[in-house]
Structure 1
């Protein structure tokens, strides 16, 4: 039995995207002509142009070809092709090529053949079967990378997944590898988790956002820290100044991964100390000093970082000594 097939250049389109549809014939007996209607939903597609295929011409056979698109809103196109003279074709080929543009409506849209007539070498009707096409018109949603996270055991981590859909479709969030005790709101994309001591370590999570048809995925890493993790001291050195001039020391960047820093202690290397987070200090003599910052968290853990301080003489002090 002959087969006549609708073959789109792609089966998934963005709204407004152009594509090509070929109508192909696989003969089971010699074919001398074909006629058919191409049906489509007017909200789903626009026919830009219709061209003759190479079913007859690639064999050097002249053919008569006609086409007609019904009035707006177009929902079908009629095509007719027949060999001129006593000619026929027994090989697979394209009888017509249709250039189309996807409409603004989203969803699965059909492109179907109707009222098909195939003629054999005696110009008599030949039996056939039809293979229609179904194309998805939709824009893929986009899920923004959520980043990486750290949280201490017993503390709560919460963040919001961010996604958008070019077609403004409703979106559903999900996670393939949601840890025990964690939750993900499928509508808002809010993730919440308070890991336990047994969950200390790295966890890889795969998130997905989906509209009615298409989806996007992103992964993230969440590191669960033990509650006795030491804080991190950041001394922001080295420092330079002159004798008698104040240096403003900076502890910004110091933090505790699983709690809070409760105390700061600075040792300026010249016998003086401070318990302020960002103290100032003036050195009485030139030279190179080692300054140290020690921070303590709410679990009593300590961390120390050191840096250098270079002090030069001032010009007036040199003149005064003469």
Structure 2
């Protein structure tokens, strides 16, 4: 079996290697010609020469580049060929893109991919949406990418279901990360706890909060015990926002996920205007001193080390 793979960055490059390791043929294209197997998309498609299968192209590019890539592929592929979008697309865009490609008889499958830079070694969790027959055709590729064993792959439903499932997955990820982060801050602030890294490490076996994210937190603390070397800024790539928006649309309460998203927004503020307003109101009704930058006591008390 062979496929084209568009986008050979941190995820795509490792996916190419893992698929090849399973014995499948991958023709990769990237604008960085040093890592590309083709000069452009047309050259990539031309190198897919198998006659016993449709041409299959997996797209792993940033969300802003997906539509231009799909528009070009629509002119290069033929009826019965298949496009997989493995990026972090919004599920509503999948439906629009599937309709665009269907005018030329090209099948579309959306696939949420989780695993990050560890996927090459451990395998990728895959959540896909699409027609049953099309997903069935792609199973050798999904099997090559997913972890060994029973778990790690789901055909979640029709087109859009894969990215919807991945969106919710990432919203849950936000909340779990926030809980670990708040626990870290509290442990660091408490004088009675003198070994925070080993405390986290002790939770990795036999506890109900053990997880791969906890393992990664422990790795980070081993490298930087008090996280002094890292800035307290956390971006969001969109899925957390989309999860909260979907929850509003479906009238489903997601307070933990919503709070974790807003916490990331707080991380971007050097000096919160909202907290300034709270300090001002406390001063008005309670006579509390309003501390300013010129006041030596304005600085946040240091976390213990």
Larger fraction in helix: 2
Structure with larger RCO (C-alpha < 8 A, sep 6+): 1
Question: Larger Cα Rg: Structure 1 or Structure 2?
Answer: 1
